[in-house]
Amino acid sequence: MSEDPANLDTLRSEGDVNLGRARAQWAAENIDEETGKWLAEDAEHFIHQSLSTPCLDVLAGVAGTQLETLSGHRLLDFHGNAVHQVGYGHPVVIDAIKDQLDTLPFCPRRYTNLPAIRLAKKLVELAPGDLRKVLFAPGGTSAIGIALKLARAATGKFKTLSMWESFHGSSLDALSIGGEAVFRKGAGPLLPGTEHVPPPDPLQSPWPDTPDPDGWAMRSAEYLEYVLEREAGDIGAVVAETVRWTPYVPPPEYWKFVRAACDKHGALLILDEIPTCLGRSGKMFVCEHYEIVPDILVIGKGLGGGVVPLAAVIAREDLALAPEGALGHYTHEKNPVACAAGLATIKVIEEEGLLAHVDELGREGLEMLNRLQEDHSHLISEVRGIGLLLGLILTRPDGSKAVDAAEQVMYRAMEKGLSFKLTMGRILTLTPPLTITREEMIRAVDILDTCFRELSEENKEKRA
């Protein structure tokens, strides 16, 4: 029997959709009566969609690196929706939010406030190159919309070039440049002029069995330049994720080539680092690894300290060309509570030395996962990662995608106290808080090892 689920979009989706075969069995064995009652109420009142409702479980609390369900089960959170860089409920972040609530909980749009000014100034100080102008937004999707409007204002061009299988948000403008079928399908007419090219990830190559991963990445970069040239300077911006959340880390020369291609053909480079910013890679911004500077950098998720929704657009100073227009006048554009959380988050990253910690523990984590691959090479075909964005790709011995096995490992791991994201149906994506300890990393890998061993033993028994 094929391991591909009926919904083939699952195999192209960054998200772990809730349509897998193993879900019902896991729920029957792990969801108690009270939790089941609340899940039923949740499903009754929320619109159902494949990436969330119906939900998996009910949380009662979070702290540090841990989740606690309503039934009292504790899990290490190696998922976190990319908001938990400094862990859950970090006291510095919580205290900053409480203090701000007591003085200025909201700022109407025609005014500014000190937390917003200080956060904008701090981001400009941290950002590479000539990124000197900031706009805030209540979420990453909204920030992408601002970046698109800014690019149009700066270039006078409406066309964009982005990548198939990419994800930049779920509003109509963001999913127009995005490339995931699970979001685009059935949405109707999208923005005009949104051109797409194949991504550099060989797993997402339109041609099977791509032999040379780095070679494919540069081939895709050359194709990107070909489209820019073919459009004869008509494309205003290239929009892409510096490092894909799958995870996929392009080779060093990839982004230098793309940066040069944008300069040559008059296109702005917009880098989406919404889930990967603020230390996830071991540097404050991922583009620093590639020694390039985008024209517009979009960040978010963890910027709000895992508490308050907050995103930011950081652009070149000379792109601030729309003083009479409206790029992103959101009600909570300069929310003082969100900005206080952002300042506190950056303070934690700097004062606790999290960049160095991520660099060191990320390298060690990769070594642990490589040893895990050696022990389970019949199922783990590749280990990927940068900093504390890590992944295991599961492939069956016959070369097919090990979707069923990936689901079984995920649900077994949750039973044993580890939560992580399942990407593209068969990639175990591991994104712990940056505050995680070495002991917690060892524990997580040990849980994965146990899950793989149990699965192998059961498969041996079935074949016997």
Query: Of 351, 378, 407, which one is at a domain's C-terminal end?
Result: 351
Q: Give the integer Cα–Cα distance in Å for 142 and 272.
A: 12
CATH number at residue 416: 3.90.1150.10
Shared domain for 125 and 52, answered yes or no, is: no
Residues 41 and 104 in one domain: no
> Given this model, what pLDDT does residue 187 score?
82
Of the residues 351, 375, 397, the one at which a domain ends:
351
The range of the structural domain enclosing residue 101 comes to 91-351
Residue 244 lies in a domain: yes
Element (DSSP H or E) covering residue 349: helix 336-351
Whether residues 212 and 69 fall in one domain: no
Give the pLDDT score at 50: 78
Whose tokens are 């205290």? That residue is 95
Phi, psi (rounded to 5 degrees) for 270? -105, 115
Summarised one tens digit per residue, pLDDT across range 114-170 is 999 999 999 999 999 999 999 999 999 999 999 999 999 999 999 999 999 999 998
On whether both 256 and 164 belong to a single domain, the answer is yes
The string of DSSP codes covering 37-103 is: HHHHHHHHHSPP-TTSSSPS--EEEEEBTEEEETTS-EEEEE-GGG--TT-BT-HHHHHHHHHHHHH
**Would the pTM count as exceeding 0.85?**
yes
Read off the pLDDT band of 346 (50, 70, 90).
Answer: very high
Whether residue 382 sits in one domain with residue 450: yes
- Say if residue 77 is in the same domain as residue 138: no
Same domain, 304 and 359: no
Where a domain ends, among 336, 351, 366?
351
pLDDT-based confidence at residue 461 (cuts at 50, 70, 90): confident
Question: Are 196 and 161 contacting, i.e. CB atoms less than 8 angstroms apart?
Answer: yes
Token pair belonging to 304: 């709000």
* Residue 349 reports pLDDT greater than 80: yes
Flag whether 454 is in a domain: yes
Question: What's the pLDDT at 214?
Answer: 79
pLDDT of 10 > 60? The answer is no
The pLDDT value recorded for residue 259 is 98
Same domain, 381 and 457: yes
Q: Cα dist. 83→66, 89, 278, 306, 350 in Å? A: 14, 11, 10, 5, 17
pLDDT tens digits, one per residue of 238-269: 999 999 988 999 999 999 999 999 999 999 99
Is there a single domain that holds both residue 451 and residue 315? no
pLDDT digits (tens, 9 = 90+) for 185-220: 888 888 999 999 999 998 877 665 665 777 889 999
Q: Quick check: is 132 in a domain?
A: yes
- Residue 307: CATH number of its domain: 3.40.640.10
Q: 438-460, pLDDT tens digit by residue?
A: 999 999 999 999 999 999 988 87
Number of domains in the chain: 2
Residue 3 counted as domain residue: no
Residue 427: strand pairing partners? 393, 423
Query: Distance from first CA to last CA of the chain, Å, rounded?
Result: 19
Residue located via tokens 């019902």:
24
On whether the CB atoms of residues 51 and 18 are closer than 8 A, the answer is: yes
Q: Which residue has the higher pLDDT, 270 or 232?
A: 270
Is 6 a residue whose pLDDT tops 70?
no
Helix axes 252-265, 213-230, angle to 10 degrees: 10
Percentage of the chain beyond pLDDT 70 is 94
Task: Please report the pLDDT score of residue 309 as a whole number.
Answer: 96
Taking only the tens place, the pLDDT of each residue in 296-339 is 999 999 999 999 999 999 999 999 877 777 787 889 999 999 99
pLDDT at 207: 65
pLDDT(5) > 70: no
pLDDT in tens, 365-412: 999 999 999 999 999 999 999 999 999 999 999 989 999 999 999 999
- In angstroms, rounded to a whole number, what is the distance separating the alpha carbons of residues 124 and 129? 10
Whether cis (ω within 30° of 0) applies to the bond prior to 54 is: yes
Task: Based on the fold, state whether residues 310 and 364 are members of the same structural domain.
Answer: no
| 134 inside domain | yes
Q: How far, CA to CA in Å, does 292 sit from each of 42, 255, 286?
A: 45, 7, 10
pLDDT at residue 106 tops 60:
yes
Q: In what order do the strands lie in the sheet with 380-386?
A: 59-63, 66-69, 74-78, 418-423, 427-430, 389-394, 380-386
Note whether residue 2 is domain-resident: no
C-alpha 94/C-alpha 222 separation (Å) is 47
* Mean pLDDT confidence for 13-23: 71
Give the pLDDT confidence score for residue 4 in this predicted structure: 43
